[in-house]
Amino acid sequence: MNSLALAGIIVGGIVAIILVKHITRCVEVNREGHAERARLQAMQMQAAVLQPATSGTHNVEMETVNRFLDGILREKPARFTPENLREFTGGYAERVGSGGFGVVYRGRFPNGVPVAVKVLNGTLDRRAEEQFMAEVGTAGRTYHINLVRLYGFCFDAATKALVYEYLENGSLDRVLFDAAGGVSRDGAHALAFDTLHGIVVGTAKGIRYLHEECQHRIIHYDIKPGNVLLAADYSPKVADFGLARLCNRDNTHMTLELWLPLPVTHKCDVYSFGMLVFEILGRRRNYLEVKSQSQHTASTETTISQEWYPKWVWQRFEQGRFDEVMAASGIRAEDRERAERMCKVALWCVQYQPELRPAMSSAVRMLEGEEEIARPVNPFTYMASLHMISGSSSGGSTTATTSGDSANRSSA
């Protein structure tokens, strides 16, 4: 074979290789084009959720898509209009809750995703408006399995509202308590202790994330059953974190630092969490009806008084009578170990001195049995001094007792 023929073969091979590479690249480009079109269609569908079409079509302009993508990149919740909210809620047709903050309505995005629309009461001053926007930005960048997801908000002169993920089982207080009496609902005792323990641990993990895992610590200020929401499987999610300061506190666990001259820190949330654990443990608001009998000359008279449940639990725990706590709460023998752990963690969390309260990461480990729990000390010693102060100022023991009971319920 001469050199000319050999050169021709080499050139032909090179050309063939180039053609194969070109064809391969064309196929790849075509595949990438299909993928890119699919990606844009998906983004348009997502954008349609946040900006529903008003002309009867579902075409989304690229400007809308860009705004949506910019919001995702900045991790900011969407801003809705009052018209959006009316459309999501069907004209505010289904009211599912209310409180000091306002009213909650059930709604649905155009793609079928259920949402909860919380419309705030009243008007906010300029400082509160700035704080509202800052806190919404914080909540919109905060993601955890035990925190309620904030999808977006509405903020104009007439309407201020928040749009959250919707949780099927509502708030913990609706599951635990009868609305009128504050005692267990019939269904509350049907909940397995495993479920109640899971609610306690999940709530603790949500607060732990706010305190210890966020870039900037978030203090909730309003941990209570109404701000713990439950998914279909009763897994808990903490709601309203960072926004409680904008709302009137309704039946909250007022921590000691808020009515005594003590610095307000994240340990306020730890105190409130402890009170929440007592309510879950007792399946009741933090008071207990106690029946007693007194013998009169003609008959025996039964009287009913109310005791503050956390202090009642401490007294039984200290005296080695935890069986009475279990009996009052319907706790079975096989759940005793976890119930005692919950009790001891709660007693540590409600200590009068904030520095004695555990970090939430420690509370989680103790609840899960991964950390030894020291025997709690009496968290209610401060009440004796309140009795003395009240008694000396009033000049009578009866008034002192009344003041002490009032202090108990205030801190609850």
Active site residues: 222
| Neighbour count for residue 145 (Cβ, 10 Å) | 13
- Contact yes or no for 311/380 (Cβ under 8 A): yes
Q: Among residues 327, 324, 339, which one has the least CA distance to residue 281?
A: 339
